[in-house]
Structure 1
Amino acid sequence: MQVSPHTAEQGFQGPLIIKHGGTYTGKWESKDADVPAIDIRTKEPVIIENAVIRGAGPLIRSVGYGANITVRNTEGYGITPTPYSDYKKPRRFLNVDVFRNIVIENCLLQSTAGIYLGVQYVGDGTPANTVKIKYNKVRNIDGRVYDGLAIVQFVQFNYRGEVPHIEIAWNEVVNEPNKSAVEDNINIYNSRGTATSPIRIHNNYIQGAFPFPANEKKYTGGGIITDSPGTDSTMATAYLKVYDNQLVGLGNYCLGIAGGNNIEMYQNRAIVSARFEDGSLFQCWSGGIWAKDYYKLNSTYNNAMHHNVLGTMGQTGTWRNDILDSTFVAAATYENVLLDGTITQAHEKEEYRLWLNKLKSNNITIGPINN
């Protein structure tokens, strides 16, 4: 373990460099956007637990080591961004390129830029070499960097290679207008599960997706999307099941297929009043679900959207439940349930009550668990 000199808040140590596997517990902080609070430089299994991490840039980073990282029962906070060199350094809770196993469970993410997995999977395809993102409490995914914005998500996959046994489940994500700057809450980009073990995104509660500032008209983010400008034989998004999620108060869209194959989105609930807390209407577009062969690379087929419950209003205060620019290639099955009547903020609040009841009935605790 190497701890670099750093002026940190009382009770916090400066940035931590981990060169050997093991379990690490403590409080670490970096006030420099170019320096991660924890930099993992080993392929050996690393467990970070019962920790508190604060960063002006990446909180936990591993670049080029084939990471095997477990983070649990840990709090992560984004702090004031600072100037950066070379490229934008958003405050990712976890930023990893080459990986074999990633587990993030029972953590708190506050004003961070979420979780990014990119480049390449180098695991062995077993349940011990996969991705699990579960039971986390997330507040205000925030892409603000020094003097600007970066495109960030709660979860972004951008890796190459098929990965079985992936699960993103039982996370509570709440983004507030003008306190968050999130693009897609979950974006699966040129990343794949397998035919026998698709990526499972289920039982998440996702509330809020807005431009920054929130009253802007242009916004390209939203809820859960598959995006795939890759070709089918090499890297197109494929093999996903997205189900039993609750999507509440989102701008632009709730569920989307912009590309990919063998994707099934079903039994989700999309409830959008398209109004802010003060009752004013969204200025950006808002809608329900959509599917489109956006890139036209012959890699979008065999997809389905069915038995989703839709109640979404537009920025004019009227219904907006379209499946936009859809084709039978993009979504061969489209059978969903449209709610009657005007959707209000009371409906959105009821969704949160349903979520809390679901957690209770399944005996699930989200966020850090006090020992």
Structure 2
Amino acid sequence: MGPLKRRAAPWLWLALLAGGPGVAACASHHATGDATLVITKGGTYSGAYASTASGTACVRVATTEPVVLDGCALTGPGNLIEAGEGADLTVRNCRGRGLPPTADKQAPGRFLDAYRPRRLVVEHNAFVQTSGIVVNRWSGTGAPGQTLTVRYNLARDVDGRWRNNTGSTHCSFLILNTVQHVPGVDIAYNEVVNAPGQSLVEDNINLYNSSGTAASPLHVHDNFVRGAYPFPAAAGQFTGSGLTTDGDAKTVDGATAFVEADHNQFVATGNAAMNIAAGHDIYFHDNRAITAGYLPDGARFNAGHAGLGVFNFYKQPATVFFGHRVAHNAVGYVKWGGTDPAPDRQDLSPGACAPCTDTEHLPGPIGWITEEGEWRTWQQKLRKAGVAVGPQLARAGSVSK
């Protein structure tokens, strides 16, 4: 996506155990091959499911009857869960672990790859070393309850690297690809931590030609995202972010639209924390964006561009790219050679943040200790809200290390 758009606290492995040019690759990852379990009848399913090949899913949902995956343990190099057209799927209290790809030019599989579902709830799961969640289009009619919620999940090391590091696939913690005009979408209280050298994520959250409604905006709030690094992490070129509104639609009806993103924390994100690269009626407010200029090993983090950016990457007409607001965000973003609001800072993208108002420029120096402070703030926030992330049932299956 252009240089503006495009990519701790402890890494908490023990806790886990107890858009743009990448969209085509992400969307086409949905497989039609084998699966360890193929569900053809509605109901609640639990258990441990494993695959050994990139082309084999652990679980495939092949029914439009309501299905609940509850307390499953999933391991494999391919997609851990796949859901087909018209799926009514709830995934909760599951644990997933991606394994290295068994085929060339393949990334680790998705935790969940859903194609045209009509209802999707993904809550209280934990997954590591997968290429995240993709929801590719939508078949719901807008009837009550036919919506999308992704909440209270714990993700570690979203990874698009091919085997033997011969290339990569753009991937995200969550990408919505052409999920349009859906009311009630709630993406909240997810905790995503990507370690340098162990992950390769593009936009942690990518909204591509996806939209809520004027009365019910697509809501992304109260998430904690730490880490969007190139590979190797000290490299200077990177095109990911914390969150980006994305998409090449040329009509107002098809564009990313009616999005509200607030009270999120984006930490250590190369390139940018939050970008509006496409769409209309998008509102970013009361977020925190903190990126230090160093990696945990003391090396310089060279992949920074700017904390916040608003730019018409796809050159959409004025009838499509309009109505943006970016207000009351707290930013401390280190870019070596930057100038805003001080040397080696770039809180706002140069010449590409006209709608950004009332920005709180955090006092320097912004360093590793500042990023660690954001982790503590997140933990306090969870306690205050009475929220726990990750699986909640003692009977949930475990994933071996």
TM-score, reference length from structure 1? 0.91
Q: 1:93 to 1:206 in 2, by over 3 A?
A: same
Counterpart of 1:360, as a letter, is: R
Q: Does 1:167 align with 2:186?
A: yes
Counterpart of 1:248, as a letter, is: V
Q: Does 1:182 align with 2:205?
A: no
C-alpha deviation, 1:177, in angstroms? 0.4
Counterpart of 2:387, as a letter, is: I
Question: Are the aligned partners of 1:135 and 1:170 in contact in 2 as well (CA < 8 Å)?
Answer: yes
Question: Are the aligned partners of 1:291 and 1:324 in contact in 2 as well (CA < 8 Å)?
Answer: no
Question: Are the aligned partners of 1:291 and 1:325 in contact in 2 as well (CA < 8 Å)?
Answer: no
C-alpha deviation, 1:130, in angstroms? 0.6
Question: Alignment length, in residue pairs?
Answer: 351
Q: Distance in 2 between matches of 1:46 and 1:88?
A: 28
Percent of pairs with identical residues: 35
Mapping of 1:128-147 within 5 angstroms? 128-146=145-163, 147=166
Q: 1:265 to 1:304 in 2, by over 3 A?
A: same
Match of 1:70 in 2: 90
Q: Distance in 1 between matches of 2:99 and 2:257?
A: 36
Q: Distance in 1 between matches of 2:128 and 2:167?
A: 19
Structure with the largest fraction of helix: 2
Give CA deviations for 1:285-324 in whole Å, capped at 9, x if unaligned. 3421000012222211000000000111114581111234
Match of 2:300 in 1: 281
- Give 3-state SS (helix, strand or coil) of 1:215's partner: coil
C-alpha deviation, 1:230, in angstroms? 0.2
Q: Distance in 2 between matches of 1:340 and 1:76?
A: 39
Give CA deviations for 1:74-110 in whole Å, capped at 9, x if unaligned. 00110121116xx746410000111101111000011
Question: Are the aligned partners of 2:264 and 2:286 in contact in 1 as well (CA < 8 Å)?
Answer: yes
Counterpart of 1:304, as a letter, is: R
Mapping of 1:206-285 within 5 angstroms? 206-285=225-304
Q: 1:234 to 1:90 in 2, by over 3 A?
A: farther
Give CA deviations for 1:121-170 in whole Å, capped at 9, x if unaligned. 22131441111000011111011233431110000010243100001000
Structure 1: which 5+ residue stretches go unaligned?
Answer: 1-13
Q: Distance in 2 between matches of 1:128 and 1:187?
A: 23
- Structure 2 counterpart of 1:58, from 67, 70, 79: 79
Structure with the largest fraction of strand: 1
Which range moves more in the overlay, 291-300 or 130-139? 291-300
Counterpart of 2:93, as a letter, is: N
Counterpart of 1:351, as a letter, is: E
- Give 3-state SS (helix, strand or coil) of 1:265's partner: strand
Query: Which structure would you say has the larger RCO, counting Cα contacts within 8 Å and 6 or more residues apart?
Result: 2
Q: Distance in 2 between matches of 1:232 and 1:238?
A: 11
Structure 2: which 5+ residue stretches go unaligned?
Answer: 1-34, 338-342, 395-401
Q: Does 1:42 align with 2:60?
A: no
Q: Does 1:26 align with 2:60?
A: no
Q: 1:315 to 1:31 in 2, by over 3 A?
A: farther
C-alpha deviation, 1:19, in angstroms? 1.0
- Give 3-state SS (helix, strand or coil) of 2:114's partner: strand
Counterpart of 1:266, as a letter, is: H
Question: Are the aligned partners of 2:309 and 2:353 in contact in 1 as well (CA < 8 Å)?
Answer: no
Q: Distance in 2 between matches of 1:283 and 1:271?
A: 15
User: How large is the Cα RMSD of the aligned pairs?
Assistant: 1.6
- Structure 2 counterpart of 1:94, from 99, 112, 119: 112
Counterpart of 2:139, as a letter, is: V
Question: Are the aligned partners of 2:260 and 2:283 in contact in 1 as well (CA < 8 Å)?
Answer: yes
Question: Are the aligned partners of 1:203 and 1:246 in contact in 2 as well (CA < 8 Å)?
Answer: yes
Match of 2:347 in 1: 321
Match of 2:22 in 1: none
Q: Does 1:79 align with 2:99?
A: yes
TM-score, reference length from structure 2? 0.84
Counterpart of 1:133, as a letter, is: V
Give CA deviations for 1:29-62 in whole Å, capped at 9, x if unaligned. 1111011111111111110011101120111112
Q: Distance in 2 between matches of 1:357 and 1:160?
A: 33
Counterpart of 2:256, as a letter, is: T
Question: Are the aligned partners of 1:215 and 1:284 in contact in 2 as well (CA < 8 Å)?
Answer: yes
- Structure 2 counterpart of 1:346, from 369, 381, 388: 369
Q: Which runs of 4+ in 1 moved over 6 A?
A: none
Q: Distance in 2 between matches of 1:274 and 1:308?
A: 20
